Structure 1
């Protein structure tokens, strides 16, 4: 009887430890998936026009530049994109100019089975921003130039679709090109010289 009781207690102890470990692992996994957000929010509040935010696929290379900060989000690209755009939209100081890889439009279903679904979901997320596309190699040229003067934030995701990355150049929300043009025109006016 005593032996059976000891055996049952041992089994209960093992089961409770296993359950406790599993729930701790779940807490850690849940917190890891959002652990990038506070750092992102801090960076967004510091950034202004001419800073870049890149939301990139898993194979995007680490850059050898002091002006580039990388955060591994451990999440899907579209989820990170939607969160990032919501944060930019709710800011008072910046708005997004969005670029995609031109190559993304030429990938076939034979090359990537779920490419049509990805492109449809991506377009739904970015269509209202009037995105532009550029060749992938041009992205690196632009980012290299920008990172010499301004910080570039790279949000690395778990996406494994090639050429799926999104490149956001931040612009001033409260000062438009038209206002800038008008200001420069007045400054160049002979009356104001």
Structure 2
């Protein structure tokens, strides 16, 4: 009986060893792939051509120019009385005159633009900066409004929510156009332009 138990244990042990030998090797692997992308808890940031970036346009411009001109000139002339008999005929003559001109002018111009536009990364430059380009077109009550933007941005200036302020865009070219009834009314008519040309 004891020998039967020993044989059973031997067969069971050999079977176990055989199963271990035939089993495929398994390795412990992390569920996180280091090259697999950003965290699940953060937004995706632009990293290469074709990726999108939202530009928050906050632009204000103010220019003032002052000019003042002042000129003054004065002069006098005198002619003494005649001599002898001519003394009574030609009395002493004096005269004076002056001229003064002053003028001043002031020009002031200002504007502001607040908008959001999503643009595309067109190219990654040699230094790692992104070349951006994009446009946005909106129709409101028959009025077409279009924003075009091109420029260069550093990857580190892009915030965690994949946005960047327009003040961080280098070589920024921001164009805002409006076309429609309101824009047409802001353009002087032919007669007005002719009148201004004549005067």
Fold match, TM over 0.5?
no
Q: TM-score range by the shorter chain?
A: under 0.3
TM-score by length of 2: 0.27
Structure with greater proportional helix content: 1
TM-score by length of 1: 0.27
Structure with greater proportional strand content: 2
